[in-house]
Amino acid sequence: MIKFNVPPHLEDSDKYVLDSMASGDIAGDNKYTKLCEEILAKKFGSPKVHLTTSGTTALEMACMLADIGPGDEVILPSYTFSSTANAIVIFGGTPVFVDIRPDTMNIDETKIEAAITPKTKAIMVVHYAGVGCNMEVICDIAKRHNLILLEDAAQVVNATYKGKYLGTFGDVGCYSFHETKNYSMGEGGAVSINNPALIDRTDIIREKGTNRTQFFNGQVDKYTWVDKGSSYLPSDILAAYLYPQLLIMDEMRQDRIDTFNLYYELLKPLKDAGKIDLPVIPEGCVHNGHMFYVKTKNLEERCALQTFLREKGVGTAFHYVPLHSAPEGLKVGRMSGEDVYTTKEFERLLRMPMYYKLGKENTEYICDMIKEFYK
Ligand X SMILES: *Cc1c(COP(=O)(O)O)cnc(C)c1O
Site string for ligand X, 53-72 (x = CB under 6 A): -xxx----------------
From the list 4-12, 78-86, 220-228, 293-301, the region that binds ligand X by CB under 6 A is 78-86
CB 160 to ligand X: min, Å: 18
d(Cα 75, Cα 52) in Å, to the nearest integer? 24
**Residues 80, 104, 182, 211: which binds ligand X (CB under 6 A)?**
80
Q: How many CB atoms lie within 10 A of CB 8?
A: 20
Q: What separation in angstroms does the CA of 4 have from each of 79, 171, 179, 270, 356?
A: 21, 34, 12, 22, 12
Q: How many CB atoms lie within 10 A of CB 314?
A: 21
CB count within 10 Å of CB 349 equals: 21
Measured from the CB atom, is 120 or 184 closer to ligand X? 184
Binding positions for ligand X, 111-130, rule CB under 6 A:
126
Which residue minimizes CB distance to ligand X? 55
Cβ count within 10 A of residue 338: 9
- Least Å distance, CB 115 to ligand X, is 19
Strands 285-286 and 189-193, bridge-based pairing: unpaired
Strand segments, DSSP code E, in 11-115 are 49-52, 73-77, 94-98
Closest contact distance (angstroms) between CB of 179 and ligand X is: 9
Q: What is the DSSP letter of 250?
A: H
Does the footprint of ligand X cover residue 189 (CB under 6 A)? yes
Least distance to ligand X, CB of residue 54, Å: 3
Nearer to ligand X, 184 or 211 (CB): 184
Q: Cβ closer to ligand X: 17 or 133?
A: 133
155 sits near ligand X (criterion: CB under 6 A): yes
Residue 81 or 161 with smaller CB distance to ligand X: 81
> Which of 13, 30, 33, 84 lies at the binding interface for ligand X (CB under 6 A)?
84
Q: Which stretch binds ligand X (CB under 6 A): 50-58, 159-167, 291-299, 348-356?
A: 50-58
List C-alpha distances in Å: 131 to 26, 92, 105, 162, 206.
35, 30, 9, 12, 29
Q: Which amino acid is located at 358 in the chain?
A: L
Nearer to ligand X, 91 or 373 (CB): 91
Which residues in 125-154 contact ligand X (CB under 6 A)? Answer: 126, 152, 154
How many residues sit close enough to ligand X to count as binding (CB under 6 A)? 14
> With respect to ligand X, which residue has the nearer C-beta, 142 or 191?
191
Task: Indicate whether 106 belongs to the interface with ligand X (CB under 6 A).
Answer: no
Residue (81 or 263) nearer to ligand X, CB: 81
Least distance from ligand X to the Cβ atom of residue 146, Å = 26
> At its nearest, how many Å lie between ligand X and the CB of residue 73?
20
Could you tell me if residue 38 is left (phi over 0), alpha (psi between -120 and 50 degrees) or otherwise beta? alpha
CB under 6 A: which stretch of 80-88, 232-240, 242-250, 297-305 binds ligand X?
A: 80-88
In the chain, which ranges are E strands?
49-52, 73-77, 94-98, 120-126, 148-152, 160-161, 164-165, 172-176, 189-193, 285-286, 293-295, 334-335, 349-351
The 10 Å CB-count burial string (b at 16+, else e) for 103-135 is: ebbbbbbebbeebbeeebbbbbbbbbbbbbbbb
Residues that bind ligand X (CB under 6 A): 54-56, 80-81, 83-84, 126, 152, 154-155, 176, 178, 189
